Amino acid sequence: MTAPRGRRVSRRWIAVGAGALLLVAALGLWLQTRSATNGAPGRSARELFTPEERAPEGVRIRVEILNATATPRLALSATRLLRDRGFDVVSIGNSPARRDNTLVLDRTSHPDWARLVASVLGRGAIEARADTSRYVDITVLLGADWTPPAKTLYP
């Protein structure tokens, strides 16, 4: 049994209307993005809508990242995030002890740098543990509470 002709036509018009609405929304988003950057190439949509914290210009903050979880390659994900934000990740590895919570250790008496690293990671308790035998300013012990950010899709 087939539906009356009038119903098929109305479904088509609904589909056409929905498609037109999506097209208008996409055009509006494109125009908003373009006007926000003033046509400047090279800026991602993420940079336009969320301010990203970065390492200060001209300052080298050396970071060591240790994976304190059973999740493989977590330190590598944190390395990519911090390097994208201007930090100098000089060492990555695995911690022999497991942790539930992320811990950021200030090794060179720069608590503002430790807070900045914790902020970029999105979490982390901060402790001052000076250690002049290490060639790092900050040590990050990634705990089970840290999850890597979603990857940006590039066309």
pLDDT (average), residues 103-123: 95
The number of angstroms, rounded, from the C-alpha of 34 to the middle of its chain's C-alpha atoms is 23
What per-residue confidence (pLDDT) applies to 30? 66
62-142 CATH, one of 3.30.70.870, 1.20.58.2030, 3.30.70.2390, 3.40.605.10: 3.30.70.2390
Residue 39 above 50 pLDDT? no
What per-residue confidence (pLDDT) applies to 1? 54
Q: For the CA atoms of 32, 33, 37, 42, what is the dihedral angle to 10 degrees? A: -170
What per-residue confidence (pLDDT) applies to 46? 45
Written as six digits, the tokens of 38 are 């003033």
Residue 9 above 70 pLDDT? no
What burial class does residue 64 get, using C-beta atoms within 10 Å of its C-beta: 0-12 exposed, 13-18 middle, 19+ buried?
A: buried
* 78 close to 142: Cβ distance less than 8 angstroms: yes
Q: Where in the chain is the domain with CATH 3.30.70.2390?
A: 62-142
Q: Given strand 62-67, what is the order of strands in its sheet?
A: 88-94, 62-67, 138-142, 103-106, 125-128
Whether the full predicted model's pTM is greater than 0.75, yes or no, is no
pLDDT per position as a tens digit, 68-92: 999 999 999 999 999 999 999 999 9
* 120 close to 53: Cβ distance less than 8 angstroms: yes
How large a percentage of the chain has pLDDT more than 90? 58
Cα–Cα distances (Å) from 8 to 13, 16, 17, in that order, read 9, 12, 14
Instruction: Kindly provide the b/e burial profile for residues 83-115, where b requires at least 16 CB atoms within 10 angstroms of the residue's own CB.
Output: eebbbebeebeebeeebeebbbbbbbebeebbe
Average pLDDT, the chain: 83
What per-residue confidence (pLDDT) applies to 132? 82
